[in-house]
Amino acid sequence: MNVERTAETGTNVAVSIAGVSKVYDRGGVAALSDVSLTIFQGEFFSLLGPSGCGKTSLLRIIGGFEQSTSGRVMIDGVDVGDTAPYARSTNMIFQHLALFPHMTVFENIAFGLRRKKMPNNEIADRVRGALALVRLADYGERMPDQLSGGQRQRVAMARAMVNEPSVLLLDEPLAALDLQLRIQMQEELRRLHKSTGRTFIYVTHDQGEAMSMSDRIGVMHGGRLQQVGTPEDIYNRPRTRFVASFIGHTNMLDGVVTSIGDEAFVRIDCKGVGLMAKSHGALTVGQPVTAAFRYERLKVAPAADPNVFASGRVVERIYLGQSIRLAVELTNGAVVTADLREAPEFSPVSVGDNVSLAIPPQSVVALTE
């Protein structure tokens, strides 16, 4: 088998997507535009983005349930353009697919294996193994309506895992569960991923879920892949305004580059407020950019602090328990938000106060897209 390898890491590629676009016949919607992506074996990879951005479309194309309009998908080094879903080494847990209500849990899980005409004793072994994997060893004879929501999701997972797919495709499997159960199931999924060592491609529109579960995340918007990276990359080094605004709480000030410094630092003028920022690519003086920085990186500081970049008046103060959220109107009229965590620095601040705001240059990114 022709398995691709990356030069730096020597890690095997599980799924490689090259220039995939999708236009649906009905409605002529461009659901995916020129998506290219490499997912490694054993990786927990999440596709993250708002409703309608193309997550399900991409997952269905990987699983073979939908044809791409152009582009290529390789799984384990083989072009699967002409391979039917059941013949691929993938298995999908669908966004809206229930269990068969008239079959026991055991039969639900055995369904795919029976269709493959596997001998009965082998089916029994495999189903028992899959049930143990999702911690439902004693539930084989139950009917789906005798299970809780979380147990049903675990059966759906067992049903996908029992085929021993090398790649598991999960389309928002926890979206219907309440918060507490979702957190339990996130742990369950992480455990399953670890114990099976298989590749998981996980679709979610929940940034917290993607951040806490994934080795890497691909952020999608409007059918395009905006950025691919580790949770830390995506959070600390967003590449586009969309990624900066979709993940975490971000201040964004429009401005122009006024000078270029060392190590990719630039100086930006935002209508009279000057900021140092880190840039991703080559910028030129006079170029319009957006300075993006997280609420929690902004500090109220003594005026002499070297990272002070502006002063302003506190226009709102909200107590959030772990932090205090301040809205500060700068001298140029823009309003920025700071989440202050350490009690000594926020307790004396109240609405109407004048404060100096500080941020280290490495916590500000200059965005052009």
Rule CB under 6 A: which residues touch ligand ATP? 24, 26-27, 29, 31, 49, 51-57, 95, 205
User: Residue 300 to residues 14, 280, 291, 336, 358: CA-CA distances in angstroms?
Assistant: 47, 27, 19, 12, 6
Indicate the residue among 203 and 275 with the shorter CB distance to ligand ATP. Answer: 203
**Nearer CB in complex with Mg ion: 96/102:** 96
DSSP per-residue letters across 316-357: EEEE-SS-EEEEEEETTS-EEEEEE-SHHHHTT--TT-EEEE
Instruction: List strand residue ranges (DSSP E) for 80-214, in order.
Output: 90-93, 167-171, 199-204
Task: Tell me which of Mg ion, ligand ATP, none is bound by residue 29, counting a contact when its beta carbon lies within the kind-specific cut-off of 5 to 8 angstroms.
Answer: ligand ATP
**Closest C-alpha among 102, 150, 149, 154 to residue 130:** 154
Tallying the residues shown for the chain, one arrives at: 369
Per CB under 5 A, which of residues 54..113 are in contact with Mg ion? Answer: 56, 95
- Minimum separation from the CB atom of position 246 to ligand ATP (A): 13
Q: Cβ of residue 203: shortest distance to Mg ion, in angstroms?
A: 6
> Pick from Mg ion, ligand ATP, none: which does 27 bind, CB < 5 to 8 A by kind?
ligand ATP
> Closest separation between CB of residue 114 and ligand ATP, Å?
29
Minimum CB separation of residue 126 from ligand ATP in Å reads: 31
d(CA 269, CA 286): 10
Shortest approach of ligand ATP to residue 77 CB, angstroms? 26
| Residue 26 binds: one of ligand ATP, Mg ion, none (C-beta under 5 to 8 A by kind) | ligand ATP
| Binder of residue 33, out of Mg ion, ligand ATP, none (CB less than 5 to 8 A by kind) | none
210 vs 365 by CB, closer to ligand ATP? 210
Q: Does 204 bind Mg ion (CB under 5 A)?
A: no
Which of the choices Mg ion, ligand ATP, none does residue 159 contact, using the CB cut-off of 5 to 8 A by kind?
none
Tokens of 43: 């990786």
SS3 content of the chain, % helix, strand, coil (to 5): 25, 35, 35
Rounded CA-CA distance 21/17 in Å is 10
Write down the least CB distance from residue 47 to ligand ATP, Å. 8
Nearer to Mg ion, 49 or 255 (CB): 49
For residue 199, give the amino acid letter: T
Residue nearer to Mg ion on the CB measure, 127 or 225 = 225
Order of strands across the sheet with 13-23?
A: 30-40, 13-23, 70-75, 78-79
Cβ-based burial of 224 (10 A; exposed 0-12, middle 13-18, buried ≥19): middle
User: Which residues are at the interface with Mg ion (CB under 5 A)?
Assistant: 56, 95
